[in-house]
Structure formats: C-alpha cells, structure tokens
Amino acid sequence: DTAVSQTPKYLVTQMGNDKSIKCEQNLGHDTMYWYKQDSKKFLKIMFSYNNKELIINETVPNRFSPKSPDKAHLNLHINSLELGDSAVYFCASSQALGSGANVLTFGAGSRLTVL
Amino acid sequence: GQNIDQPTEMTATEGAIVQINCTYQTSGFNGLFWYQQHAGEAPTFLSYNVLDGLEEKGRFSSFLSRSKGYSYLLLKELQMKDSASYLCAVMDSNYQLIWGAGTKLIIKP
C-alpha cells in the first residue's frame, strides 16, 4: 500500500564505489523527483522526470544519473562515490508539473553514508 | 537570487499556540507550501496557499501575503507529536519549488 517506496533505506559504502537507489510509486503520478537532504536539512532538487522525460537537471555532478524505465519508477545511480555524497536521498512524485497545486508525496528516504 | 527565510529553531509549550514565519524572494510566484518533517522521516504535505489570506485546516492554519512575500504557519493546541521540522517552499514562475531550510519546533511539556 506504500505510495512511494524506495530501497535501500540505509546504504553504507566505500569511496569510489558505484551504487543505486530504487524508487517506485503506485499513485499514478506523472512526475517523479530525486531530492538530496544534507546535514543542514536543505532539500535540494536533483532531477525530475515527467512521463519518462528528464525535465529538470540541476547542477549535479554527472556521476549521478537518473534512470526511468517507466513512469512509475525512477532509479538513481551514483558512480565513484565521494565523501560529500553522504546524505539522505528522497524520491518523490506529484500529479503533474506545471501546476500550482503540485503536492509532492515523498518516499521514506535512503540514508547514504560514504566512508 | 531566490531565497526563503525561516527561523532555525523554535520552542513552545504543550497546549499553547506557535506561529512559524516564512519570508521569500523568488522569480515569480505560483503558490506556497508548508510541509512537516519528523526526525528521520519523509516530509509530508500540510498546506498550500496561492491567494492572500488564511487557510484553516484543523489545528493548523497557514497565512499568505503576496505583496509582503510573507507566510506563516499557525499551530494551535500544541501536542508533543507536533515536534518536527516545518519546511516552507515556494513555487516560482517556472513551477520549480524553492525550499527553506526548515524550522525545528521543540514542544515542551
């Protein structure tokens, strides 16, 4: 019944490794997002996908790559992990972009720790 | 640049009322959101304002003044479970959400 589910919830890994976080939503929403929340609690948009098309790509390193096999899934792949990548990554979805009342539903978050 | 300001932390007493302020400077305006985030959990939607005035939803109310670039979230009859961070976010003219850093609200018995 979980609306937005992401896995894994916790991820501890070494610098230089490659890792992926998966996200799925069963709300029938058209848009999905990846956010990064650092230790100062700022939520920073990383990517959003609308109907499998990347529509926002903020200035994130190209080590981060989103992959969306269909509109219910948006995975995040990270290459060559660095210490500064340690954060909580939230997946979210919304009914549509370009609408004022664009309420986000967030997943529970994936806490990434890079050692 | 675009900016959202809200206090870092506030403390209030159980049963009391607290007002959390948010001021913003953004490129255009398509609405203001308040989200609640308990420690270690995901943000959850509380309210949306696009027109000036007060929106009431149970113990929580949200106010907006577009001319002043100002909003507040009012929480009444505070309960211990209201201890959380409250995030203010504004949707700009490109329908992108600009987030504040959040206000950590501590409720004391």
Question: Looking at the predicted structure, is the pLDDT value of residue B101 above 90?
Answer: yes
Q: How far apart are CA B36 and CA A59, in angstroms?
A: 27
Q: How confident is the model at residue B66 (pLDDT cuts 50, 70, 90)?
A: very high
Q: How far apart are CA A34 and CA A66, in angstroms?
A: 8
Which residues of chain A fall below pLDDT 50?
Answer: none
Question: Looking at the predicted structure, is the pLDDT value of residue B19 above 70?
Answer: yes
Residue A82 has what DSSP assignment? -
Interchain pair A41, B85: CB under 8 A: yes
Lowest-confidence range among A13-17, A38-42, B9-13, B47-51?
A38-42
| Res A84: pLDDT | 93
| Res B94: pLDDT | 84
Question: Looking at the predicted structure, is the pLDDT value of residue B31 above 90?
Answer: yes
Interchain pair A100, B44: CB under 8 A: no
Of B42, B45, B99, the CB nearest to A108: B42
Q: At a CB cut-off of 8 Å and minimum separation 6, what does A115 contact?
A: A12, A13, A14, A15
| Res A41: pLDDT | 79
- Chain centroid to CA B37: how far? 11
Of all residues in chain B, the one with the smallest CA distance to A106 is B42
Which tokens in the block code for residue B102? 């959040």
| Neighbour count for residue B24 (Cβ, 10 Å) | 22
Q: How far apart are CA A52 and CA A74, in angstroms?
A: 9
Confirm if B109 and B11 have CB atoms less than 8 A apart. Answer: no
CA distances from A49 to B30, B61, B96 (A): 20, 32, 13
| Res A100: pLDDT | 66
> Which residues in chain A are closer than 8 Å to B33, comparing Cβ atoms?
103
Residue with structure tokens 């009444």? B76
> Strand A10-13 vs strand A110-114: parallel, antiparallel, or unpaired?
parallel
Lowest-confidence range among A108-112, B39-43, B91-95?
B91-95
Interchain pair A41, B42: CB under 8 A: no
B96, B104, B105: best mutation site toward chain A, by most A Cβ within 10 Å?
Answer: B96
Distance between A110 CA and the closest CA of chain B, angstroms: 10
Cα three-residue angle B30-A39-A114, rounded to 5 degrees: 120
Question: Within the 55-84 window of chain B, which residues sit less than 8 Å (CB to CB) from chain A?
Answer: none
Q: How far apart are CA A64 and CA A19, in angstroms?
A: 10
Q: How far apart are CA B29 and CA B54, in angstroms?
A: 17
| Res A26: pLDDT | 95
- Rounded to an integer, the average pLDDT of B15-24 is 98
